[in-house]
Amino acid sequence: MEIDTAAPVITRDEIVVHAPIQTIWDIQTLQGAWDGSLRAWLENLKRAAEAQA
């Protein structure tokens, strides 16, 4: 993806997720099961991380 450097605002972000790669993949590929709510997604992420601990 190319960034339009002439845009009025440019941002680049990254995060570090401390979880096994399989857990991250499983959560990302469950999109059809998400209800569209960020809160629900975060709860699913938390439960999956706790299950891996």
Closest-CA residue to 48 (of 6, 20, 11, 14)? 20
pLDDT tens-digit readout, 21-53: 998 888 778 766 655 677 777 888 888 888 887
pLDDT tens-digit readout, 1-24: 687 888 888 777 888 888 899 988
Angstrom distances, CA of residue 8 to CA of 13, 14, 42: 17, 21, 31
- Residue 51: what pLDDT? 87
- Residue 30: what pLDDT? 77
Alpha-carbon gap, residue 44 to 28, rounded angstroms: 11
Is the model's pTM score more than 0.85?
Answer: no
Query: Could you state, in order of their start, the residue ranges of all structural domains in the chain?
Result: 21-52
